[in-house]
Structure 1
């Protein structure tokens, strides 16, 4: 079971009696799965989550991943998420943290190119993805905080390595907008309206 401290920030932001998101419980820690969520919230974005031990390390990528190695995409490190979040797809209620629909845009397995803890500590994190949409080598490199910027905010850049899975011409976000779990687009994933009450 994840140490309470690892999911403290995640749980503190959510009211689980109101959101369908998983609170996180005892699950097998072995594995190397990853997920990319597409999330329509206050600001539309994508979330990259990599299984590291018993939690998902997470980064919010506002413009989403690109197969073009020339594209450097901002990736803001966020709180660790529970492993069960890999399979989460649904609508977070309006008014709750991250309110809005979320789909499993891509999922698969990943492998680090170096020691994970060292890579996260030094801010140079190379890894490989084997998903339905994203594959091959990727890089996360941490940016130094600008003068006056919040030291606790960890900004990274995400970009594709130059390999056979790279493609400078294909916009994968436009070409493959659908969920790999349900086949639905995020626009189709809306809360089912409650039936109108019949007049007495």
Structure 2
């Protein structure tokens, strides 16, 4: 599917003369440029976790899949404890440039509120099919269960996204696997109002005040 079609919903919800959010022009980068990429590549695809102080406070979890960022709203944020099953509600695909976005979306606009980049880095798909063969990441997502290794400033190790409800109210769970980077009993998710951006070291309040 063409990039412009994959971002149609994203662009249709926004007025770019009123918001600083990117429209989307970047070419794919990372572990390949085609939907049939080698999932064993060491280059890694990009991921970002943003804190969004909108009508309700939440974390936005985004994974680069080809030319877009696949996105989920995670109300409680990612956890480093394998016992924590974090609800993740899918949202529209975002452009690659969105991993750098930090600022204030004007009141009255879609998603109005303050955004900071809480974590970012690269990830490697680790899903396999029933025969133990590496599985392309887009196929793993389509099947409803995808595993991936995160290498960020704050998040590390293998996580999994699992779809538990389909249809119009599609919903997923984001769960840390029990590996060497797990921290049982420690969610690893801070108070979002006190958390600092890995991009600018600012808090939500500081970004809102300065912008």
Q: TM-score, normalised by structure 1?
A: 0.88
Do structure 1's residue 126 and structure 2's residue 131 form an aligned pair? no
For residue 60 of structure 1, what is the aligned residue in structure 2? Answer: 73
Secondary structure, aligned partner of 1:187: helix
Query: Which of residues 62, 74, 78 is equivalent to 2:87?
Result: 74
Q: Unpaired runs of 5+ in structure 1? A: 146-150, 194-200
1:144 aligns with: 165
Deviations 1:3-25 (A, max 9, x none): 21100000000000000000111
Distance of 2:122 and 2:3 partners within structure 1? 23
Q: CA deviation at 1:28?
A: 2.4
Report the Cα distance in structure 2 between the residues aligned to 1:18 and 1:88, rounded to whole angstroms: 15
Separation (CA, whole Å) in 1 of partners of 2:165 and 2:70: 19
CA-based RMSD of the aligned residues comes to: 1.5
Say whether the 8 Å CA contact 2:78–2:187 is kept in structure 1. no
| Structure 1 equivalent of residue 9 of structure 2 | 9
Q: Which residue of 1 aligns with 2:132?
A: none
Give the match for residue 185 of structure 2.
169
Q: Is 1:181 aligned to residue 195 of structure 2? A: no
Return 5+ residue gaps in structure 2 as ranges.
31-44, 128-135
Task: Indicate conservation of the 8 Å contact 2:161/2:174, yes or no.
Answer: yes
Partner of 1:196: none
1:23 matches 2:39: no
Q: How far 1:191 sits from its partner (Å)? A: 4.7
Larger CA Rg, structure 1 vs 2: 1
- The answer to whether the 8 Å contact 1:77/1:153 transfers is no
Classify 1:132/1:185 alpha carbon distance in 2 versus 1 (closer, same or farther; 3 Å): same
Q: Deviation per CA, 1:67-86, whole angstroms, max 9, x where unpaired?
A: 11000000001100000001
Contact 1:22/1:85 (8 A) holds in 2: yes
1:153 aligned residue: 169
Partner residue, 1:198:
none
What's the TM-score, normalizing by structure 2?
0.84
Q: Is the 2:49–2:118 contact (alpha carbons within 8 Å) kept by the matching residues of 1? A: yes
SS class of match (2:189): helix
Distance 1:37 1:103 in 2: 6
Residues 41 and 162 of structure 1: CA distance in aligned 2, closer, same or farther (over 3 Å): same
Once the two structures are TM-superposed, the CA of residue 143 in structure 1 deviates from its matched residue by 1.0
Q: Name 1:110's counterpart in structure 2.
A: 123
Residues 65, 138 of structure 2: 8 Å contact kept: no
